[in-house]
Amino acid sequence: MNIRETIALVFLLASIVVAGCARQGHWNAKNISGLMPDLKFNLTDETGKSVTAANYRGKTLMLFFGYTNCPDFCPTTLAKLAQVLDQIPNERKEVRVLFVSVDPKRDSPKNLAIYTNNFAPEVIGLTGSEPMLRELTKRYRTTFSYGKPNALGNYEVSHGLAVYVFDKTGKARLMILDKQTVPQIVTDLKRLIGESA
């Protein structure tokens, strides 16, 4: 291998690295454009109707996984997202929060409706059969599992902690992490709704 070949290879590798870095935007949340596939699912909504991602095209979507018996993460996240919605009174009709229950055994559509109404009208509960839920969680590279039931038959469900944000065309755009604050989410969301308006 001579010097010229070495330089060419080093240059090639360096340009790959630079191209990878240039894609980053300035969002508070994690930018997942190009990393994750477009939204696609086949689930049941809280009225018992079967729905796909196409039903929500045209809306900016915030999707996350949880279950109604969840003691901490799910209610705090939903409360946080409800606060975010309160701070964008003009844009909130453009937004839907999709709360996907990965505990279909306990979370019937009816239970989900009662639960999500505690937070905001834009919050929609979704669930489905376990294989359908596995397919969706695999698509967004997350998983869930069930703990051992206690004497009363209650069990914990472990699930991913990210909120996935999709734009109006169903493209995966942002991943909101636990550490993001309400003002940060508001800023990101306004920008995202604004850019595709």
Partner 1 sequence: MLHWVAPYQFSWLAVTVFPLAGILYGAGMRNLRRRGEKIGYWRPFAFYLGLALCYTVMHTRFDYYGQYLFFMHRAQHLVLHHVGAMLIALGNLPRFWGAALSPLPPGPGKLLNRAMLPVRFLQQPVSGSVVFVGLIYFWLTPGVHFDAMLSHNLYLLMNWSMLVDGVLFWMVLVDARPIELSHLPGYATRFVMIIATTIPQILLGAYITFSTRNLYSVYSVCGRAWPIAPERDQLYGGLLTWIPPAMMELVAALIVLSLLMARESALSPTEGKS
Residues that bind partner 1 (CB under 8 A): 1, 5-6, 9, 30, 32, 34-36, 138, 141-145, 147, 156, 158-162, 175, 177-178
Q: Please name the helix (run of DSSP H) or strand (run of DSSP E) that holds residue 115, with its range, or none.
A: helix 109-116
Q: Least distance (Å) from partner 1 to the CB of residue 175? A: 7
Nearer to partner 1, 55 or 137 (CB): 137
State in angstroms the smallest separation of the CB of 164 from partner 1: 10
Comparing CB distances to partner 1, the nearer of 109 and 160 is 160
H/E stretch holding 62: strand 60-66
CA of residue 29 relative to chain centroid, distance:
12
State in angstroms the smallest separation of the CB of 143 from partner 1: 5
| 110-to-48, 103, 125 alpha-carbon distances in Å | 8, 14, 9
Min dist. Cβ of residue 58 to partner 1 (A): 25
Nearer to partner 1, 33 or 108 (CB): 33
**CB-nearer residue toward partner 1: 14 or 114:** 14
> For residue 150, what are the contacts with CB-CB under 8 A and spacing of at least 6?
none
Minimum distance from residue 141 beta carbon to partner 1 (Å): 6
d(Cα 195, Cα 197) in Å, to the nearest integer?
6
Comparison of 5 and 72: residue with beta carbon closer to partner 1: 5
Q: Are 62 and 29 in contact (CB under 8 A)?
A: no
Cα–Cα distance for residue pair 29/60, rounded to 1 Å: 15
We find the least distance from the C-beta atom of residue 66 to partner 1, in angstroms, to be: 11
Cα gap 178→42, rounded to integer Å:
27
Name the strands in the sheet holding 30-31, side by side, starting at the edge strand that comes first in the sequence: 30-31, 172-176, 163-166, 60-66, 95-101, 123-127, 42-45, 50-52
Nearer to partner 1 by Cβ, of 90 and 145: the residue is: 145
